[in-house]
Amino acid sequence: MIYIRAFIVGGILCALAQVVLDSTKVNPAVIMVSAACTGAILSGLGLYGTLVSYAGAGAAVPLFGFGHTLVQGMMEDVAKEGWFGLFTGGFRASSAALTGAVVFGYLMAVLFNPKG
Amino acid sequence: MKFSRQGNSTVVFPVMPVVRSSACVVGPREGKGPLREGFDLIHEDTLAGRTSWEKAESLMLRQSLDIALAKAGLDETQIDFLLAGDLLNQIISANFMAREFDVPFIGLYGACSTMAEGLIIASMLVAGGFARNAALAVSSHHDTAERQYRYPTEFAYMRTPTSQWTVTAACSTVIGVTGDGPWIEGVTAGRVQDNGVTDANDMGSAMAPAFADTVWRHLQDMSRKPEDYDLILSGDLGKIGSLLARELLRKKGVDIEDRHRDAGLLIYEDRPEIGAGGSGCACSAAVFSAMVVPSMRRGELKRVLFVATGALHSPITCQQGESIPSIAHAVSLVWRSEEVKP
Amino acid sequence: MPRANTREKEAYRKLSIKASPPRSVLRNAVVAFLVGGAICLVGQIVLSWISSTGIGRVQALSRTQTIMVFLGAFFTGLGLYDKLGGVAGMGAAIPITGFANSIVSPAMEFKREGFVLGVSARMFQVAGPVIVYSFIASLLVSSAALILAR
């Protein structure tokens, strides 16, 4: 069942990040950066694509999936138009998430105030 | 010239300056804490009706000073010096508060030790005959400190168990020649200590050596034992810092175990989000105003060593990997009665 | 000596570790698993719902991510997401909703300093590094794949 797989895979990825955070005492921002980069590397090795087909949102929603999205985009564009695809694929593939982040981020900042 | 000094680094006052009044204005979380009875004004909202937390902090500072002056029955023309400090860059809360008072102003920065730093200077100003009355005001605010020292307040992260919760409060006190007391018998200014702690989320560990050093030097200078005090109050060492400080003093042959309490552990109930305890300039100051002064006036505490501790770091130096220098200042307060001679 | 030497620092570090409570690694990991899993489950429900309209796989995934970004931003605005993060740590930070939180929280926080140097300049305080490094990493990974494929 895809829902259970999404829950378990997504949960494991988050739990792994938490264990790394607790054992290295680095700050949370570093873990978030590392997660996205790890996703990119796993994607390059062809592993993350498999995980996404297995767990769906369980692999696509965690930040690891962001790195994967970028690599996929770059590889696709490289296949279409050669090395210059490295410069176009990343933003093309992640445009929806990034635009969403900018637009919704700004909107929420206008609408709401921090509660502390 | 005759100097009023004892030992290497303690100042003793032949004529003791008096704590004429003290007042404390707090935020909602502190107002629900164990010391709620002792506060003069409790805000229901961390914004205190203002448009920003910085404005709220400055307002609270002003309110606390107004209340302290009213309690002492003084107006600003009778105050010769106003001393104030807080945690924000350029001590803005204090500066903005000071523009509301027509009193010569001295800005202080001692991180969370500012209360004791201010008491030292104010009592010397009064005892030296340089001021009839000196007012001291300090503040800290959880949300202003959080956004300056750590992350935006809405950032979703888990606080570490060693981290401490900045107290939202402002406290003022007036030091003068006559008044209700308690009296300030002596003060020991701290030396900056650095034991190499680099974790900005573990300030208790960073500050414990400074506390131990100042307490030890004070006891040496005064030729006293911890038992001579009814209470040795540390500012905001928290759980971990308190353990470490006791251990460091034990190694020097001083056992403060039954006399020592920490303001950071007195101000809140023990809850997970508080972490290791309260912190901030107003942490020690709130306990001073809401607990120490009233208890002494009731005669329950005869002699108190008030030791506020401060971690003297900035987010920039921490990011650059610098360790956290820290400081602790000690103020010895007495309640005059038959048992305790002036 | 107010400034400790290396040996004293090391001794003090050991003392400090002894005094500190151990981090509850297992408990934190379990909570991160449950909360992170639950957020991904929500993501999967959204994904399945979008996929049921017959849209392509890649488009469905990117729409899901955008909707999750919206949800993360919205709950941060309501002042609820930081509470979740306080309990779940990485369980709230690692899903893309946490990425949205890292954008909205400084944007909202610095609104009082204005909309240009406040909101928009601070927006990418944490998300900026994530974007920068994931682009660099992806570029390196893709370049390596490109070279190896020759």
Question: Could you report the per-residue pLDDT of B233-259, keeping only the tens digit for each?
Answer: 999 999 999 999 999 999 999 999 999
Domains along chain B?
5-176 (3.40.47.40), 183-334 (3.40.47.40)
| Single-letter amino acid, residue A94 | S
B342 pLDDT band, cuts 50/70/90, is: very low
> What residues of chain C, 10 to 29, have a C-beta less than 8 Å from chain A?
23, 25, 28-29
Q: Please, what is the average pLDDT of chain C?
A: 94
- The 10s digit of each residue's pLDDT in B78-112 is 999 999 999 999 999 999 999 999 999 999 999 99
Indicate the pairing of strand B303-311 with strand B231-234: parallel
Instruction: Please indicate whether, in this complex, the C-beta atoms of B51 and C81 are within 8 angstroms of each other.
Output: no
Give the best residue of B92, B158, B214 to mutate against chain C (max C CB count within 10 A).
Answer: B158
Instruction: Please indicate whether, in this complex, the C-beta atoms of B244 and C23 are within 8 angstroms of each other.
Output: no
pLDDT at residue B310 greater than cutoff 70 = yes
pLDDT at residue C72 greater than cutoff 70 = yes
pLDDT at residue C81 greater than cutoff 80 = yes
Chains near A with 3+ CB pairs less than 8 A apart are: B, C
| Single-letter amino acid, residue B43 | H
Instruction: Please indicate whether, in this complex, the C-beta atoms of C142 and A105 are within 8 angstroms of each other.
Output: no
pLDDT at residue C1 greater than cutoff 60 = no
Q: Please, what is the average pLDDT of chain B?
A: 95
B287 pLDDT band, cuts 50/70/90, is: very high
B70 pLDDT band, cuts 50/70/90, is: very high
CA angle A11, A13, A15 (to 5 degrees): 65
Which positions in chain C touch B196 (Cβ < 8 Å)?
4, 9, 12-13
Average pLDDT over residues B271-297: 95
ipTM above 0.90, yes or no: yes
A1 pLDDT band, cuts 50/70/90, is: confident
How many beta-carbon pairs below 8 A join chains A and B? 16
| Ordered DSSP codes for A7-76 | HHHHHHHHHHHHHHHHHH---HHHHHHHHHHHHHHHHHTTHHHHHHHHHTHHHHSBTHHHHHHHHHHHHH
Q: What pLDDT sits at residue B100?
A: 95
Q: What pLDDT sits at residue B93?
A: 96
Percent of chain C with pLDDT over 70: 99
Q: Which of C31, C40, C139 sits opposite A58 (nearest CB)?
A: C40
φ, ψ dihedrals at B310, nearest 5°: -135, 140
Average pLDDT over residues C97-102: 97
pLDDT at residue B35 greater than cutoff 90 = yes
Percent of chain B with pLDDT over 70: 98
φ, ψ dihedrals at C36, nearest 5°: -60, -45
Torsion of CA A41, A43, A44, A47, to 10 degrees: 100
> Largest alpha-carbon pair distance within chain B?
60
Q: What pLDDT sits at residue B273?
A: 86
Helix (H) or strand (E) run with residue B342 in it? none
Contact between B173 and B306 under an 8 Å Cβ cutoff? The reply is no
Contact between B31 and B39 under an 8 Å Cβ cutoff? The reply is yes
Give the distance from residue A32's alpha carbon to the nearest chain C alpha carbon, in angstroms: 6
Q: What pLDDT sits at residue B340?
A: 45
Instruction: Please indicate whether, in this complex, the C-beta atoms of A116 and B143 are within 8 angstroms of each other.
Output: yes
Helix (H) or strand (E) run with residue B98 in it? helix B92-98
Q: How many Å apart are CA C37 and CA C85, to the nearest integer?
A: 14
CA angle B158, C122, A100 (to 5 degrees): 85
Which positions in chain A touch B157 (Cβ < 8 Å)?
28
Instruction: Please indicate whether, in this complex, the C-beta atoms of B51 and C112 are within 8 angstroms of each other.
Output: yes
Helix (H) or strand (E) run with residue B135 in it? strand B133-140
CA angle B155, B159, B165 (to 5 degrees): 95
Instruction: Please indicate whether, in this complex, the C-beta atoms of A114 and B46 are within 8 angstroms of each other.
Output: no
pLDDT at residue B131 greater than cutoff 80 = yes
Q: What pLDDT sits at residue C37?
A: 98
Which positions in chain B touch C28 (Cβ < 8 Å)?
158
For the ranges B189-193, B298-302, B335-339, the lowest mean pLDDT is seen at B335-339
Contact between B310 and B328 under an 8 Å Cβ cutoff? The reply is yes
